[in-house]
Amino acid sequence: MKVYTEILPVTGCEIEGEHPLPVFCDIQRDKPSKGDGTLTAEEEDRLGKNTGYRVLPYRMQDKYNRNKRKMYLKTVVLENQYLKAAFLPEYGGRLYSLKNKETGKEILYKNPVFQPANLGIRNAWFSGGVEWNVAQYGHTMYSSSPVFFAEMTGEHGEKFLRMYDFERMKRLFVQLDFHLPEDSKVLYVHVEIINQDKMPKSMYWWSNIAIQSEEKLRVFSGTEDVLYLHPESISDNTNPVRIFGRGKLPYIPTLPGLDSTYPSNADYSNEFFFQNPASPEKCWSAAAYGDGRVFFERSTLPLRYRKMFCWGSHQGGKRWCSYLATAEDGDYVELQAGLAPTQLNGLEIPADTTWKFTQAIGETKFLDADAAYGNDYHSARENVETIVEGALLVAIIEKNNIYFEIMAQKPTEEILSMGTGWGTLERLRTELQGEDFPSHLLFPDSALGKEQYPWYCLLTQGFLPELSPEQAPESWMVDEKFYPLLKESLEKSQGCHYLTWLHLGVMEYERGNRKAGAEAWENSLKLCPSPFTLRNLAWDRRLDGDMDKAVELMKGAVEKEDNGIDKIFSEEYMDLLLENGKFGQAWAYYQKLPEERKKGERLTLQAALAGVELKEYSFVEKVLSREFACIREGDNSLTDLFTRYHVLKKLDEPENTMTLKEAQEYVEKNCIPPKEIDFRMFVKRGGEEKCI
């Protein structure tokens, strides 16, 4: 086997940066979710716990578009005589490609383009390959950020790869060692999640494997018992409450009369979770293809549960697939593997604990291609289980797991691709404060950059350097280890300035101390007015329901920012105006913006949402005919705008006698949104939930 780096030319859109504002966690730390009365006590346990939206200390990656051009991706390759695995070290270490060298074909779904979209926790996310999601509910924080990759040598002289980083939100070290023995037809990933703190942490792990889709694709796992999401619970974006039910494959209530084990049958964005027993023999999933090929993955415990996700065959699902890739090559299905019954069952990793497991990915083939397609799903599932066991014995993966655990303790050798400097900052902090650090992971001093510099200064000199109030901080910090240092710095002349109070307010607020956070921002404002401080206070007043004061403070923030820092200030101001029903004020503000800022996609859409209420129909029509890169999963803004536009136009007709409600019902029945703007995952029609 061999390890090397390679430059991959693709067509795509680069991610060009982050916006500078802190995005605070949901006040409700537990995401609203519940069972429908069919779940067991174990499945209900901790449902929604600690899964509320969180971003800090990370920043949002919202700087990209849909103007594709040639770009170059750095890959790190692990290869033997059977497989070639290519990883993207600058994009979360995603396994981008896994090629079967005997057939020359891809085992995974390999996206033909690189197109970011607003699906990740931090916004920018792209489809395809295998993503390693850790720490917080959702896609991993570093989906589109660099992580460390190193070349390693095993005790038998074989090469393997190590991916690792320091996860800042939960203060976890995450290590993935990729092994591809010379005679292996499967790729192994050995995962270690390290909590060195003296307290438990809320945790999350799901490896998301995208595979090629086809009409005959059928999915399997170690059981026929599943938990499924009621589709209507994913269509409400205003007050979403995720509702789970329990069923048995192949027929579940959310797809009446159709076999749910064929993703092609789903006419909405569908997902269900296999409730595999806590048995090593059952920790697997597979997908059968019409030509007899079988994709499979299996793992050691505790990686027990599996999930199937597909976008669906309805117009909105098809649009998402083409939006993330191309109209011809965008359809894929995800088989995911996790540590909890669903992705909304919160977990905790105990203090001073390392979680370890191994997962293997490969493909095999049925001699009888029909063995996976019988009407008796139970029998078909047993056939697939037999062929998975034949391709990779439980005894083999468990034996290899023991060896991989030993290799995981080897000191990191040659770094092939650098991550960020946050792991280095943590190493320096532990050295100064006499705490433990996983010494086998290499975080060199050279990784430190401008994002870490202020906090390195606080760590070594006892204060943060002051910036101009119109200058964006390079990073945010909510790490509890830096909290006392920041408070102590206020007692020093160099540290008692507006920026220290601003950062302290962010820390307090994210810790749930809203009052202390707002008071810190008030102190910051007294020392020096900053658009960041004004914006944060506007955020706080909005949460209190004082919308007039929130608008006033945000108006001050955009005036202070004066179109010189980032368009996010204007976007948040427009959001407040729209939420407060100030459509005329929002429209007037947009019209006065500099031409370059007015081109911003989200601002343009916000202006259209105001403009439709003011009957600026020509502007709205232009917006509805263009393409957007900023649409978020579950965001129905474009179709809502389309519906509102047609309702108001109907009411404006000279001979109209309809009421608003009647016009709404007429439009919903007769005006289907163009596919280019339809990103709905599920649709309400005629008072009933049904897909179109």
φ/ψ (deg, to 5) at 437: -150, 140
Q: Are 363 and 100 in contact (CB under 8 A)?
A: yes
Which residues are bridge partners to 211 per DSSP?
Answer: 333
Identify residue 287 by its one-letter amino acid code: A
Of how many residues is the chain composed? 692
Tokens 């370059």 -> residue: 596
CA distance 283 to 223: 9
- CB atoms < 10 A from the CB of 35, how many? 17
Instruction: Give me the pLDDT at residue 545, please.
Output: 94
687's tokens: 């008072």
Q: Which residues have C-beta within 8 Å of that of residue 72, sequence separation ≥ 6?
A: 7, 8, 9, 10
pLDDT for 688 beyond 70? no
Flag the least confident range among 284-288, 315-319, 553-557.
Answer: 315-319
Instruction: Give me the pLDDT at residue 264, please.
Output: 96
Burial class of 65 by CB neighbour count within 10 A (0 to 12, 13 to 18, 19+): middle
pLDDT band at 227 (very low <50, low <70, confident <90, very high): very high
Q: What DSSP assignment string belongs to 395-420?
A: HHHHHHHHHHHHHTTSPP-EEEE---
Q: How many alpha carbons lie under 13 Å from residue 94 in its C-beta half-sphere? A: 29
Share of the chain above pLDDT 70, in %: 98
Burial class of 676 by CB neighbour count within 10 A (0 to 12, 13 to 18, 19+): middle
CA distance 309 to 332: 9
Instruction: Give me the pLDDT at residue 634, please.
Output: 78
Give, in degrees to the nearest 5, the angle at Cα 555 between 467 and 25. Answer: 70
Q: Are 177 and 148 in contact (CB under 8 A)?
A: no
Are β-strands 242-248 and 33-35 bridged in parallel, bridged antiparallel, or unpaired?
parallel
pLDDT in tens, 633-667: 878 899 999 999 999 999 999 988 889 999 999 99
Q: Are 379 and 110 in contact (CB under 8 A)?
A: no
Query: Does the bond joining 250 to the residue before it have cis omega, within 30 degrees of 0?
Result: yes
pLDDT for 690 beyond 50? no
Q: Which residues have C-beta within 8 Å of that of residue 577, sequence separation ≥ 6?
A: 551, 583, 585, 586, 589, 610
CA distance 231 to 40: 20
Residues of 583-601 as b/e, b for ≥16 C-beta within 10 angstroms? bebbbebbeebeeeeeebb
Q: What is the average per-residue pLDDT within 442-459?
A: 97
CA distance 47 to 44: 5
pLDDT for 41 beyond 90? no
Burial class of 466 by CB neighbour count within 10 A (0 to 12, 13 to 18, 19+): middle
Burial class of 156 by CB neighbour count within 10 A (0 to 12, 13 to 18, 19+): exposed
Q: What is the average per-residue pLDDT within 199-227?
A: 97
Are β-strands 414-417 and 201-203 bridged in parallel, bridged antiparallel, or unpaired?
unpaired
Instruction: Give me the pLDDT at residue 330, please.
Output: 86
Which one has a higher pLDDT value, 324 or 690?
324
Q: Are 215 and 379 in contact (CB under 8 A)?
A: no
Q: Which residues have C-beta within 8 Å of that of residue 653, sequence separation ≥ 6?
A: none
pLDDT for 88 beyond 80? yes
Q: Which residues have C-beta within 8 Å of that of residue 251, sequence separation ≥ 6?
A: 257, 258, 259, 260
CA distance 145 to 244: 33
Give, in degrees to the nearest 5, the angle at Cα 223 between 220 and 228. Answer: 80
pLDDT in tens, 390-447: 999 999 999 999 999 999 999 999 999 999 999 999 999 999 999 999 999 999 999 9
pLDDT in tens, 579-634: 999 999 999 999 999 999 999 999 999 999 999 999 999 999 999 999 999 988 87
pLDDT in tens, 232-282: 887 666 667 899 999 999 999 999 999 999 999 999 999 999 999 999 999
Q: Which residues have C-beta within 8 Å of that of residue 410, sequence separation ≥ 6?
A: 152, 440
CA distance 576 to 542: 8
Measured CA to CA in angstroms, residue 246 lies from 6, 243, 251, 269 at distances of 46, 10, 11, 18
583's tokens: 């459509």
Q: Which residues have C-beta within 8 Å of that of residue 539, sequence separation ≥ 6?
A: 24, 550
pLDDT in tens, 369-384: 899 999 999 999 999 9
Report the SS3 class of residue 6. Answer: strand
CA distance 326 to 332: 12
Are β-strands 305-310 and 332-338 bridged in parallel, bridged antiparallel, or unpaired?
antiparallel
Instruction: Give me the pLDDT at residue 363, please.
Output: 98
Q: What is the average per-residue pLDDT within 86-104?
A: 97
Q: What is the average per-residue pLDDT within 440-468?
A: 97
